[in-house]
Chains A and B, each alone.
Chain A
Amino acid sequence: MLKTKHIVLWMMVLLLSCGMAQGQKIALLKYRGGGDWYSNPTSLPNLIAFCNKNLGTSIDKDPATVEVGSADIFQYPFIHMTGHGNVVFSEDEAQNLRAYLISGGFLHIDDNYGLNNFIRTQMKAVFPELDFVELPYNHPIYHQKYDFPRGLPKIHEHDGKPAQGFGLIWEGRLVCFFSYECDLGDGWEDAIVHGDSEATRTKALQMGANIIQYVFTR
């Protein structure tokens, strides 16, 4: 009798604890300062669907939203950041982000036009000892499942400048990738939002998939 009770109790414990999402979650960074961290709402879900279909990943279809200073940041292997405007990290937030990136995390910053000046100053607060360096065309991030021999593809035209991919490298490891003048996130969005051509959207998604694959398997 006691044994049956024990087993029933056991099953209850197990049933209560299971049923959680088995996929890997990735997250969108929510920051302060006034910039629109929430722009391009369909971009991450589209990128996830593309990766799950073409790379064989099992990423949860709903991305999470995580604040810069939150301890939850350590739950996500990949964090995406976008926007057009001002970004402010407090000292605690900068420390939290720094610990996350050094510990093994990854931040992809996508310049949705106008983020450049703000984010460079703020990342300097996170890594005073590092500068953004332009990644050469032979960097593995451009040569994963999809080959980009000329580096970052140009997705959305703003100032006629070339698309550039910058990185912060901590002890030999790329901890932050900054896609500048490229607007990958626009290309990931539903076709109806920006009217990008199918070919452009595919290029953007392929480059996004390359970033995910690089971060997950390097």
Chain B
Amino acid sequence: MSLLTQYSLWFLPLCLLVGAGCALLLYYKSTTLDLDQKSRIIMSCLRGLAVSLICFLLLAPMLKMMMKELDKPLIIFAVDNSESIVLSKDSAYYRTDYPQQLKQLVNSFGNKYDVKVYSVGEKNQLQENDNTDFMDFSEKSTDLSAIFNDVSTLYGNRNIGSMILLSDGIVNSGSNPYYKASSVEYPVYTVGLGSTETTTDLFFAGVNHNKQALKGNYFPVEIKVAANQLANNNITLTLTEGDEVLMSKNMTINSRKFFETVSANLQATTKGLHKYKLTLTELDGELTYVNNTAYFYVEVIDSREKIAIVYNGPHPDVAAIKSALESAENYEVTVLSIQDFRASVDDYSLIVLHQLPSAGQPAANLLAQIEKTGTSCLFIVGSQTNLSAFNNLNAGISIQQNKNLFNSAVPLYNENFTAFTFSEEARQLLPKLPPMTTIFGDYKSMVASNVFLYQKINNVNTQYPLILFNERNGVKTGVICGTGIWQWKLYNYLYTQGHREFDEIINKIATYLSVKADKSLFRVSAKNVYEEYKPVVITAELYNESYELVNDADVSIVITAEDGKKYEQQLSKQNNQYVLNMGELPVGDYSWLCSTKYGKNSYSKSGRFSVDEVLIESTNLVADHSLLQSIATATNAKFFLPREMQQIEQEIKANDNIKPIANYSKKYSLLLSSWVYFACIVLLLAVEWFLRKWNGGI
């Protein structure tokens, strides 16, 4: 702490001198007061000090202080809250004693540490330190890698002391946590929950099947049956739909660790959603019977929409778009070189043209057919596209290239885009995607065109479209003004360990372009299958006669469960739409009837959906402590069993690397801004005045 003024410090004695001078003049020079020696000294001191202080404050002095801020070490508890923990032998312990022991450990750190408790499972969630109520072991899947990402995003600039990871090590989603953990700089103490002993159990280890099948066709189902420590038992696997037994297979468990894949070929007979049930014999001594039953759903459809991708030359964009379209199983995708295109355009609900028309391939025949039949198209414009031929197609944009040059453009979402909605995850991913190669030149888009993404070039937001849509005479056309979208797929995986967002964007584009306009005035969208523990959301739209969205009228829905239980609700109005969030519904089949009255007209729509059981946590019940041990070793920490977990406190307190970090910062404060000095001056003068009065002065 030190004192600064903008004047020389030699002014300080001068201040004292002025104070002393005033005091002397008043109390020793003038003789109007009759005072004893003692009062005179006291009062002159008071006056002297007050005047000195005022003079001193006139110098506008500042205090320089070094502020020490302690960044307490963060201790992050990552508490696995997944189902697999209580499906183990010691479930009673995990429901009663374990939460109390954890609470004791959390509290033992006291206020020298900054303790945060996260529950881990499908998602990570910050919990209150004192409350163990969240530990209901209800998470339907386990991703242990995400917590490392979250911690580095949220606390990257903090003093992370340590993470304490309490889990059974059974991971069934996300990436391998070991690789995440080995790159962090803080120790990760691990507590191994669950049981590593192989449990006596017969269970479904998984069911592979298509989500959709074509009516009349056969579709394959692969059923994985596993059993531990149940050798020499005879079991029966049954596959039923409703009351009808479709397959029954007897097997003998021939080893202590039994695994068998059973294939079945089912016929898709009637259109609609089909629910199939799988059951295994319940044997004595099994840990749980929960995983002896499994359900799966297959939607049987009349026909699948066809999409053709026609290219000028092979390009990685083609493979990436094809894989995205095929992921949803909604489309039958054909990939063809323009030289090989012979089919009729009528067969396809969407045609993707990659860098066509080009200089070598005018594609005149195909383009004429498209024009004639009014088929939806998606153009991908690149260096091979013949721009003047493309501009003549009135696809919604015309592009004039400048000097055969190209730009590198990243996507920029158009906030005013309304043609379709997409998930928050996809929206978050957009700005992180790598650039596409676009044409450098003039872009003129038609007034009616609807821009989905703009080009952001060298960090400059431009008005050049990257992806846009156009509707002319009821025919929808899309244009991707660049090549290299294939890289989005790779980066999607880098950021999220999956391709869900890329697939979603491509499929939304394809659906928007291929769906013939729905002319009905009341439209309801509900999924066929909702996952257990995910909210059931149904949306509706109501149009007036001039096809403008309205929501003046009330829309109600009745959802009926299998057992006849009815849920009656009003849809709430959001923006121009109607939304119903039913929350979680129990597993089962439901039918719904949605109706409204607008003006003189009544409308209603009906449908069915199922809430599907999520089995993933019960398929593997053997804890993986070796994973937790290697995480601890890789981060220079230790592994503990639940009953030893209180020792972690000692370990952390003894670890010299986990200490508060002191951050120093300079702080200047003007003394004038503090009221203390004024209070001093007032006090000094007030006392002096009082003494003068006391002694009979004025």
Which A residues lie at the B interface, using CB under 8 A?
A: 10, 13-14, 16-20, 22-24, 51-52, 55-58, 74-75, 77-78, 95, 99-100, 102-105, 145, 173, 212-213, 215-218
Contacts and interface: CB of A to CB of B under 8 A. Distances in A.
Contacts of B323: 104, 173
Given A13-B457, A58-B313, A58-B384, A104 B490 contact: yes
Residue picked from A18, A19, A212, most chain B C-beta under 10 Å = A18
Given A18-B406, A19-B406, A58-B383, A13 B460 contact: yes
Contacts of A52: 313
A10 B460 CA distance: 9
The 7 closest A-B pairs by CB, nearest first: A56-B313, A103-B493, A77-B316, A216-B314, A22-B383, A18-B440, A103-B490
Contacts of A14: 407, 440, 457-458
Contact of B486 (A16, A77, A213): A77
A212 B355 CA distance: 18
A105 B319 contact: no
Interface centre among B320, B360, B405 (most CB of A within 10 A): B405
Contacts of B360: 56
A140 to B, nearest CB: 11
A104 B315 contact: no
B408 interface: yes
A105 B313 CA distance: 19
A104 B486 contact: yes
Contacts of A20: 406-408, 437
B383 A23 contact: yes
Contacts of B319: 77, 215-218
A97 B386 CA distance: 37
19 contacts: A17-B407, A18-B408, A20-B437, A22-B382, A55-B314, A56-B384, A57-B315, A58-B355, A58-B384, A74-B487, A77-B486, A95-B179, A103-B493, A145-B337, A213-B314, A215-B316, A217-B314, A217-B318, A217-B335
Contacts of A10: 460
Given A56-B358, A74-B434, A213-B314, 6 more contacts: A22-B382, A23-B383, A56-B360, A104-B320, A215-B319, A218-B335
Contacts of A22: 382-383, 406, 437
Nearest to A215: B319
A99 B494 CA distance: 7
B494 A103 contact: yes
A100 B487 CA distance: 11
Contact of B407 (A18, A24, A51, A173): A18
A158 B408 CA distance: 46
Nearest to B502: A104
B407 A104 contact: no
Interface string B378-411: 0000111000000000000000000001111000
Interface in B629-679: none
B610 interface: no
B124 interface: no
Given A57-B313, A217-B319, A217-B322, A19 B494 contact: no
Contacts of A19: 405-406, 440
Contacts of B492: 103
Interface string B268-288: 000000000000000000000
A215 B335 CA distance: 12
A5 to B, nearest CB: 15
A133 B273 CA distance: 37
B155 to A, nearest CB: 24
B620 interface: no
B224 interface: no
Interface string B337-357: 100000000000000000100
Q: What bracket does the count of chain B residues touching chain A fall in?
A: 35 or more
A43 B206 CA distance: 46
A17 B459 CA distance: 10
Contacts of B625: none
A14 B409 CA distance: 11
A105 B322 contact: no
A56 B382 CA distance: 13
Contact of B489 (A104, A145, A213, A216): A104
B189 to A, nearest CB: 23
Contacts of B489: 103-104
B559 to A, nearest CB: 36
Contacts of B405: 18-19
Given A17-B407, A56-B360, A24 B457 contact: no
B311 interface: yes
Contacts of A145: 337
A105 B490 CA distance: 7
A78 B487 CA distance: 12
A14 B443 CA distance: 14
Contacts of B460: 10, 13
Contact of B491 (A55, A57, A74): A74
A183 to B, nearest CB: 24
Nearest to A218: B319
B312 interface: yes
Contacts of B486: 77, 104
B329 to A, nearest CB: 13
Contacts of A57: 313-315
Contacts of B493: 99, 102-104
Interface in B445-468: 457-458, 460
B383 A13 contact: no
Contacts of B179: 95
A56 B312 contact: yes
Contacts of A212: 314
A173 B499 CA distance: 14
A102 B437 CA distance: 24
Interface in B356-375: 358, 360-361
Contact of B458 (A16, A75, A100, A104): A16
Interface string B406-421: 1110000000000000
Given A100-B490, A212-B314, A218 B322 contact: yes
Interface in B469-494: 483-484, 486-487, 489-494
Contacts of B312: 56
Nearest to B317: A216
A102 B335 CA distance: 22
Contacts of B440: 14, 18-19
Contact of B487 (A13, A23, A51, A75): A75
A173 B324 CA distance: 13
Contacts of B355: 58
A17 B323 CA distance: 31
Given A103-B489, A103-B493, A104-B493, A17 B316 contact: no
A216 B457 contact: no
Nearest to B320: A104
Given A18-B406, A19-B405, A74 B494 contact: yes
B322 A104 contact: no
A61 to B, nearest CB: 13
B437 A74 contact: no
B20 to A, nearest CB: 64
Interface string B18-30: 0000000000000
B390 to A, nearest CB: 16
A15 to B, nearest CB: 8
Nearest to B318: A217
Most buried by B among A56, A75, A100, A215: A56
A171 to B, nearest CB: 11
Contact of A216 (B315, B487, B494): B315
A185 to B, nearest CB: 20
A215 B316 CA distance: 7
A57 B319 CA distance: 14
Interface string B305-336: 00001011111101110110000000000010
B499 A104 contact: yes
A212 to B, nearest CB: 6
B127 to A, nearest CB: 32
Nearest to B491: A74
